Chains A and B, each alone.
Chain A
Amino acid sequence: QVQLVESGGGVVQPGRSLRLSCAASGFTFSSYGMHWVRQAPGKGLEWVAVIWYDGSNKYYADSVKGRFTISRDNSKNTLYLQMNSLRAEDTAVYYCARDRPWCSGGSCYPGAFDIWGQGTMVTVSS
């Protein structure tokens, strides 16, 4: 079945780095854009980053730009989020999600998150 499984979360000190992974199965990973979305404890959802199906385009939320890097390895069906210079406000559950694009005039753009992983918790604390 279609599935996304995140891993790599944990407790990390402020200023340190962490890399999250998201293993995809049950669909042709290389055909889909992918997102990271996070949720701080007791708070709402926050979009973090998107990567095109072939890795050609990447966009980030202002809150993580310059510190986080989204990437993918289509040969391993895996999505990554490299998080550097972590801050206390980065503490959250991090979800990976598959993109369902919308298309117009022969071009397609990021749209809905139609499949979500179960999330991995990242805690930034000294």
Chain B
Amino acid sequence: SYELTQPPSVSVSPGQTARITCSGDALPKKYAYWYQQKSGQAPVLVIYEDSKRPSGIPERFSGSSSGTMATLTISGAQVEDEADYYCYSTDSSGGVFGGGTKLTVL
């Protein structure tokens, strides 16, 4: 399997745009998925297939992927968006998560 690399932390002020990156050699050929996990809770899918947003996820969440890097963008981040974010992608026999990024909004 391969690795996905995320920055350990990102910090923004409320209303600013937060960008969380995920790099991996297989991303040009594989979809990226993004999960939000708030403290003590199960993860929630926020972006699938690079850029699609599940129903119920606010429009401020968006995703993109180019080459070996996928990006989760939170436009106008809010205090309630403070959480750990994980990227995920599949390989030939399963899947791999990135190490996670702690987003601080204050």
Contact = CB atoms under 8 A, between A and B. Distances in A.
Given A61-B94, A62-B1, A100 B43 contact: no
B90 A109 contact: yes
A112 interface: yes
Nearest to B42: A116
B45 interface: yes
Nearest to B41: A118
B90 A110 contact: yes
A45 B49 contact: no
A6 to B, nearest CB: 10
Contact of B45 (A44, A50, A112, A117): A112
Contacts of B84: 44
Contacts of A117: 42
Contacts, number: 64
Interface stretch (B18-26, B72-80, B95-103): B95-103
A60 B42 CA distance: 21
A12 to B, nearest CB: 22
Contacts of A109: 90
Contact of B86 (A45, A61, A100): A45
Interface residues of chain B: helix, strand, loop or mixed (majority): strand
Nearest to A50: B94
Given A45-B97, A47-B96, A59-B93, A114 B86 contact: no
A111 B97 contact: no
A46 B99 CA distance: 9
Interface in B33-59: 33, 35, 37, 42-45, 48-49, 54
A116 B36 CA distance: 12
A95 interface: yes
A90 B84 CA distance: 22
A37 B96 CA distance: 10
Contact of A44 (B31, B49, B97): B97
Contacts of A100: 45, 48
Interface of B: 1, 31, 33, 35, 37, 42-45, 48-49, 54, 84, 86, 88, 90, 93-100
